[in-house]
Structure 1
Amino acid sequence: MTRFDYIIVGAGTAGCVLANRLSRDAGTTVLLIEAGDHDTNPLITVPRGFSELLGDTTTAWHHPTRPFGPARQVEQWVRGKTLGGSSAVNGMVYNRGHRADYDALAGLGNPGWGWDEMLPVFTAIEDHELGASELRGAGGPLHISSAAGDDPLLEDVLAAGAGLGWRRTRDPNEADEERIGYAMATIRDGRRVSAAHAFLHPVADRPNLTVAVRTAVDEVVLDDGRAVGVRGRQDDRDVEYRATREVILSAGTLATPKLLQLSGIGDPEVLADAGVGVAVPSPRVGAGMREHRVFTAQFRLTEDLGYNRLLSTPEGQQQAMAEYQATGGGPMAAPSFDVIGFVKTRPELDRPDAQLHIAPFSMLPPEPGAAIEVERDPGVLCIAYPLRPDSRGTARITSADPDAPLDIDPGYLTTEHDRTTSADAFRIIRRLFGTEPLAARIERETAPGPQARTDEQIVEAGLLGGSAGYHAIGTAAMGPADADVVDSRLRVRGVAGLRVVDASVLPIMPSGNTNGPITALAWRAADMIRDDA
């Protein structure tokens, strides 16, 4: 049985950061475990290769949800299944959130997570193409670039946003005001910068760091109230590893609560129904989940602009890939969305409460678990969602069998705040696309269409034709109460030597995409882990 000081379960964003930071001490041994394989798929480095990666079960997990919405549809929640985790298959948009988000986190009784502590972490991590400033970092491991270009359609989007009073900005992370600009993205020289690329591969030759791929962890081994290791399967062979200091779960908002519950740490009723004995009663494991419900609008263009004509046929896709291979540019070098905006749904708010993403293409109706396909006729896509949703869902095991699917209740739009904010954010999309000079480019709204007018109709359209944001948090949330799953140092209550470091520990949503905040969370957590050693 192999022993390590630290065992990290999950080689996604948080796991790669932790492996880098904890293995800096040559006298500390670290095992990083990943259920997926090495990140050798060539599409991982191609930014707009993400649509194929998300549909490929060798690079992405597909987790079905409970039926929801008026049509009782089942949605597939997709997560990365390779070194780098979801950072290897995501849309690469880099947002951080702002002072109010982190100060609110600290204000809930979580000292050490306020903006004054977190801003230095972000600036240490970043290698920002706009250079260092009081709010940006340069020279760090994670390269951040702008999606800025000279596409006339996107320039009209920006001009229309400015016409609505939003500040056009080079760096959307700079200030927490109504603003619009080209997205910042984890891309360098036309290539994706995943967490594995930024944090793991540069240190992979450290003799004290071991990486185990194709290894599914089924259980945390507990001994007299302490986590002492993990059991699982590697290539269908049973394996067990022991930890002399800590087991750290970094498997994400879905897999981490699953592993806690399989190990007997969770709501006693949920565990009993699944046939799992209770080791540590912790009713909030798998509860408190928050996820963005993305509302989608698509528009037909009056001219042949955007990427549809190019990317809707095999010949055009080959042409785009040839351009990418020759120059490192073109549509394949862009993130999932080129332009982002942060807006207020009500003027009296003190900060934006909704986010927009715009891309110069439009999609065919999605097939569950399949790659994204674009339409033939020219179109443009805009999505919107509330930045800080307060509806709550759950992720619970259904069986003691580790291969059994989770019961995922998305909990979408169950609060009046989320329903009203979503409907108002969708109306802002229509205002944007009805503002010159962008309005002159628009022939008509193709999805959901003009029949969605009232709040109820818009919400129904968002449930039917929208999607998950892939930003779920909160299923092992930190807090000061005895009932909170982890404390402010991310230690699991009731078990010594067990910590959680991933999006599941966040009790509130940072304002924007979550990959950047999780990178910083893991960097900060590594300092806490070393201080506690």
Structure 2
Amino acid sequence: MQDGQSFDYIIVGAGSAGCVLANRLSESGRNSVLLLEAGGKDDSFWIHIPIGYGKTIVDERVNWKFQTEANHALGGRTIYWPRGKVLGGSSSINGLIYIRGQAEDYDHWRQLGNVGWSYEDVLPFFKKAENQENGADAYHGADGPLRVTNLRERNPLCDAFIGSAQSQGIPRNDDFNGARQEGAGYFQATVRNGRRESAATAYLRPAMRRPNLTVLTRAMTEKVLLDGQKATGVQFRHEGRMVTAKANREVILSAGSVKSPHLLMLSGIGNARHLAQHGIAPVLDLPGVGQNLQDHYGGQITWKCNRAITMNDVMMSRFRQLKVGLQWLLTRRGPLSVPAGQAALFARVLPDSATPDLQFLFQTFSGGYYEDGLFKFSGFANFLCPVRPNSRGQITLSSADAHAQPRLEPNYFSDERDRRIAVEGLKLARRMAASKPLADFVIEEHLPGSATATDQEIEDYLVQNGGCVSHQVGTCKMGTDAMAVVDPQLRVRGVEGLRVVDASIMPTLISGNTNAPTIMIAEKAAATIQGQAA
């Protein structure tokens, strides 16, 4: 494209939100839209095979590979944050799980002053996005772009997990996104015909044929251009040169919970004192930028399995690897077609919790985190985390260089209630593993092991060995208070022609995985921008 070219809308970031916006804002044909993505095209084989997240989660070609600062409450540990740097963003590298969160999460947003964001308000946009395999009903849509399907492969370990949850008084739930979230059951996944359904495949690919949509990859946005307190365009680096693009109507940041606040600060919008410390002239003193950081931090409990039915067994055998690979290539079925977690549990483990405070992601494999790989024995695992963490962190500048990673300080596990929920969750997982039918598959607990017995020992294990599931939100908080960055229409407060539309606008973290809510946010924002009703 030409330097200085004008578009009606400029969208920064082709992730879960940006792909939705690019589709919806260009579909009438009346608007010219520019979509900028710092990463490349989503043409890797491993993106499109569901099990491929095991490779893309650590692949720098499609991943920002962020690293946090040392976490005080974790004894100085740093935590790895995989974030998608490719068309589709993190929806191209995530675990494919489709979870919306509890109705109460969104009603709480409304109670914080965010008019139009109650569960009743957002449900139509979840339904608008969804192409639900089980058909439409009061909670689901069947005509949307995003395919949501049932698991085509069911490992007997998952049925045993659900059965043992029921033995502990936890009800079975066949739809976590329906009338209630509480219970144990199977996840649904963003999988279409055995292949990953990312925001790029669902929303962007069909829209890229439109002449009014321009998509640039390897385009690293460095700042928002401002005329006083009006956004007029963006400056980005593409093919070795600095380029500017002008926005006739709006600039929309959909760069995610790390890069959206980072771009605001680089552009002079944020805490004025902090910006000045890095030699950036403050344009607007907005102290909430980068604050209110939230994420799901927890830990895993792993067991040795007495049957060779886990993914560990597949990966330890060249013959079985070949067999399941051919099965996927020929039929799009088998172990390679399933998401990161196959079964789940949402439960209340503290007596004063009115709704589920804990999530289990049950996995038919076991290993370390991300780069550590799978254990060399038959094994399975539960990853558990508090769903509504009270711990809060921040993202700040490390320098004025747009290519330098900002300082990521999540402050994990700093809240006592978060620690109590995680400890009680691990104890619940042990009770389930000791009860039938799951007990029939267990040789022994591998990690943390039976020697980790007291509450303090369990907490210490979670501090020393826990990790996150990369559900970072909140750093451009929506609200009406002094720390809010955007208003309920997602307009940056005090700046004309600038919005933030991604997970960073969540005032509080929803109870579950964040891809589906981020797509909903973008659907709702697109309708708002175009003056449409649900």
TM-score range, shorter chain: over 0.9
Aligned to 1:77: 81
Provide the residue aligned with 2:169 in structure 1.
165
SS in 1 for 2:303: strand
Q: Are the equivalent residues in 2 in contact too, given 1:312–1:373 (CA < 8 A)?
A: no
Go from structure 1 to structure 2 and tell me whether the alpha carbon gap of 1:26 and 1:49 turns closer, same or farther (over 3 Å shift). same
TM-score by length of 2: 0.96
Whether contact under 8 Å (1:250, 1:501) holds in the other structure is yes
Letter in 1 for 2:508: I
- Given candidates 35, 39, 49, the residue that maps to 2:38 is 35
Cα distance 1:176–1:454, how it changes in 2: closer, same or farther (>3 A)?
farther
Give secondary structure in 1 for the equivalent of 2:235. strand
Identify the match of residue 152 of structure 1 among 143, 151, 156.
156
Counterpart of 1:143 in structure 2 is 147
Q: What secondary structure is seen at the aligned counterpart in 2 of 1:383? A: strand
Counterpart among 99, 107, 110 of residue 106 in structure 1: 110
Kindly indicate whether residue 136 of structure 2 is the aligned counterpart of residue 132 of structure 1: yes
Q: Is the 8 A contact 1:12 1:251 kept in 2?
A: yes
Are the equivalent residues in 2 in contact too, given 1:482–1:493 (CA < 8 A)? Answer: no
> Residue in 2 aligned with 1:464?
464
Is 2:11 the partner of 1:8?
yes
* Cα distance change of structure 1 residues 438 and 85 upon mapping to structure 2, 3 Å threshold: same
Q: Tell me the equivalent position of 1:209.
A: 213
Q: What is residue 447 of structure 1 aligned with on the other side?
A: 447
Equivalent residue for 2:68, pick from 55, 65, 70: 65
Evaluate the alpha carbon distance shift between residue 149 and residue 165 of structure 1 in structure 2; reply closer, same or farther with a 3 A threshold.
farther
C-alpha displacement at 1:139, in angstroms? Answer: 1.9
Q: Which SS does the other structure have where 1:426 is aligned?
A: helix
Query: Identity percentage over the alignment?
Result: 38
Once the 2 structures are TM-superposed, how far is the Cα of residue 302 of structure 1 from its aligned partner? 2.3
Conserved 8 A contact 2:74-2:413: no
CA contact (8 A) 2:288 2:482 kept: no
Q: Does 1:384 align with 2:387?
A: no
Whether the aligned pair in 2 keeps the contact of 1:293 and 1:462 (CA below 8 Å) is no
Please state whether the residue corresponding to 2:248 is helix, strand or coil: strand
- Mean Cα deviation higher: 253-262 or 162-171: 162-171
Which residue, 341, 348, 352 being the options, matches 1:344? 348
Structure 2: how far apart are the matches of 1:167 and 1:148? 23
* Alignment pair present for 1:281 and 2:318: no
The residue matched to 1:59 in structure 2 has which SS? coil
Structure 1 residues 468 and 184: alpha-carbon distance in aligned structure 2, compared to 1, 3 A threshold: same
How far 1:318 sits from its partner (Å)?
3.2
Q: Which amino acid in 2 is paired with 1:443?
A: I
Match of 2:485 in 1: 485
Structure 2: which amino acid aligns with 1:514? Answer: T
Q: In structure 1, what is the equivalent of residue 316 of structure 2?
A: 312
CA distance in 2, matches of 1:56, 1:498: 32
1:120-142 Cα shifts (integer Å, max 9, x gaps)? 11111111111111111112111
| Shift in Å, 1:165 | 1.9
The match for 1:225 among 220, 226, 229 is: 229
Deviation of residue 314 (structure 1)? 4.9
Matching of residues 423-438 of structure 1 within 5 Å = 423-438=423-438
CA contact (8 A) 1:312 1:374 kept: no
- 2:511 corresponds in structure 1 to 511
TM-score with structure 1 setting the length: 0.96
Whole-angstrom CA distance in 2 between matches of 1:452 and 1:253: 35
- The two structures, once aligned, show a CA RMSD in angstroms of 1.5
1:356 aligned residue: 360
Where structure 2 has 5 or more consecutive residues not aligned to the other structure, the ranges are none
Show the counterpart of 1:119.
Answer: 123
Deviation, 1:161, is 1.2
Number of the residue aligned with 1:51: 54
Displacement, 1:492? 0.5
Name the aligned partner's letter for residue 312 of structure 2. N
Letter in 2 for 1:502: D
User: Which residue in 1 is equivalent to 2:275?
Assistant: 271
Q: CA deviation at 1:148?
A: 5.4
Secondary structure of the residue aligned to 1:247 is strand
Measured after TM superposition, the shift of residue 315 of structure 1 is 4.8
Contact 1:160 1:437 in 2 (8 A): yes
- In the alignment, which residue of structure 2 is the partner of 1:191? 195
* 1:70, distance to aligned residue in structure 2 (A): 4.6
Matched, 1:91 2:91: no
> Partner letter of residue 157 of structure 2?
L
What is the identity, as a one-letter code, of the residue corresponding to 1:243? A
Aligned-partner Cα distance in 2 for 1:216–1:352: 40
Q: Which residue of 2 aligns with 1:330?
A: 334
Residues 1:300 and 2:304 are matched in the alignment: yes
1:457 Cα shift? 2.4
Question: Which has the higher mean CA deviation after the structures are superposed, 476-485 or 334-343?
Answer: 476-485
